[in-house]
Amino acid sequence: MNAKKWIAVAVSGACGRMGRQVCRAVLEDDELKLTAAFDEREGGKDLGAVLEGPELGIVITGLTPAALEKAAPDVLVDFTTPSAVIPNIETALECGVRPVVGTTGIIQADVVRLGEEVGKRGLGAVIAPNFALGAVLMMKFAEQAARYLPQAEIIELHHDKKMDAPSGTALKTAEMIAAGRLEPTAQPTQKEELLKLEGARGGVYERVHIHSIRLQGLIAHQQVIFGGLGQTLTIRHDSYDRSSFMPGVLMAARKVMELKGLVYGLENLLD
């Protein structure tokens, strides 16, 4: 915690579905104070109008170094797009602001490079594929199950506006499954398959098949199905409302103030 009574938070992507939810959550939190809202849409509008509430005195602008320095937040929460998120993180770091990032589509090479930059600047940063605490537990349970059940496939289901596939959560889950495997129970080599339709078996990452579904009516859902001799185990998590992500976002906004270096994955912040 800094010397102030609260942590100043700016939100990038404030007019998006997740961004609006984050703004509302920060406004309701006693330890955090919303000081700026950045978005390429609705420029010049008061954030209160976008949130369909009273005026807040926070005018929506684009994210630039000058705008960020003027707002002087401690933390920048980013829920934007895969094409915008890296420049946004770099801008935050240049201004000495700690990023908390929920935007997916960040590749591992960028995570490594950004981690080096965060370390050089003596700051903290959090990048999390999923901020829902239940989803984080689902990934941890999958890592444990991988010790005992040799085969696993992931089915991830999201709303039809999601831009990237597979989801960051699915990729992170596959990484954790690979890390959890013991040599005697490693994923066996798959026999040659006759695919009558290209992509029918999904994508493969860390020897885990991942299947992505995009449909109206969904928010964020994932199941991990393990197979063993004569049995299967299914671990599933469902987010039915974007409010499910808010406790994790708020926790990260607080804990990033105490961090030195980049933390990838919310599971690394759980006590």
Which letter does DSSP use for residue 1 in this model? -
pLDDT at 1: 45
- Distance (Å, whole) CA 139 – CA 211: 16
**Superfamily of 7-131+243-269 according to CATH:** NAD(P)-binding Rossmann-like Domain (3.40.50.720)
Count of Cβ atoms closer than 10 Å to residue 237 Cβ: 23
pLDDT by residue, tens only, the chain of 271 residues? 455 689 999 999 999 999 999 999 999 999 999 999 999 998 899 999 999 999 999 999 999 999 999 999 999 999 999 999 999 999 999 999 999 999 988 888 999 999 999 999 999 999 998 999 999 999 999 999 999 998 999 999 999 999 889 999 999 999 999 999 986 555 555 567 788 888 889 999 999 999 999 999 999 999 999 999 999 999 999 999 999 999 999 999 999 999 999 999 999 998 7
Which one of 45, 70, 162, 209 is the catalytic residue? Answer: 162
Domain extent listing, the chain = 7-131+243-269, 133-240
pLDDT at 235: 98
Nearest CA among 93, 71, 74 for reference residue 8: 74
Which one of 140, 158, 159, 260 is the catalytic residue? Answer: 158
Nearest CA among 74, 111, 133 for reference residue 258: 74
pLDDT at 42: 85
Question: CB–CB of 158/125 below 8 Å?
Answer: no
Q: Pick one of 3.40.50.510, 3.30.360.10, 3.40.50.1980, 3.10.620.30 as the CATH number of 133-240.
A: 3.30.360.10
Q: Is 5 a known active-site residue?
A: no
What lies within 8 Å, CB to CB, of 157 at 6+ separation is: 212, 213, 214, 215, 218, 220, 221, 222
Q: Which helix (H) or strand (E) holds 234?
A: strand 231-239
Q: Is 237 a known active-site residue?
A: no
